[in-house]
Amino acid sequence: MKAISVRAYDPRRSEWNIYWMDTRSRRFDTPYVGNFAGDRGDFYREWETPEGGRVGRIRFSHVLPDRVSWSLAVSSDGRQNWTTIWSMEMRRAPR
């Protein structure tokens, strides 16, 4: 699978939108929407499945000039509990 992620800032709403597309659907999904506060950014997207509603959360944490932690979690109980399904530690490449 190949994929691309696009981030776009909406100054009218003071929100970031994170769009995702991969070779499975070849179209951008509904964006994750959110913002940064301090050293963390939370972005949410809701969708329906045959088993009920889901909420996805992308979280950027420990945001520093040279690194950031990133995770993707899903909730099926109205944001009460989260299951992390992907996480990464990203570092800026040396110049």
Query: Containing domain of residue 41, as a range?
Result: 3-91
pLDDT in tens, 14-73: 999 999 998 988 888 899 999 999 889 999 999 999 999 999 999 999 988 899 999 999
Instruction: Single out the residue of 70, 53, 52 nearest to residue 61, CA to CA.
Output: 70
pLDDT in tens, 79-93: 999 999 999 999 999
Domain count, the chain: 1
For residue 16, give both structure tokens.
């970031």
User: How far apart, in whole angstroms, are the C-alpha atoms of residue 80 and residue 29?
Assistant: 24
Q: What is the pTM of this model?
A: 0.87
Q: Report the pLDDT value the prediction gives residue 63, as an integer from 0 to 100.
A: 87
Q: How many residues does the chain have?
A: 95
Q: Under a CB-based contact definition with an 8 Å cutoff, are residues 70 and 57 in contact?
A: no
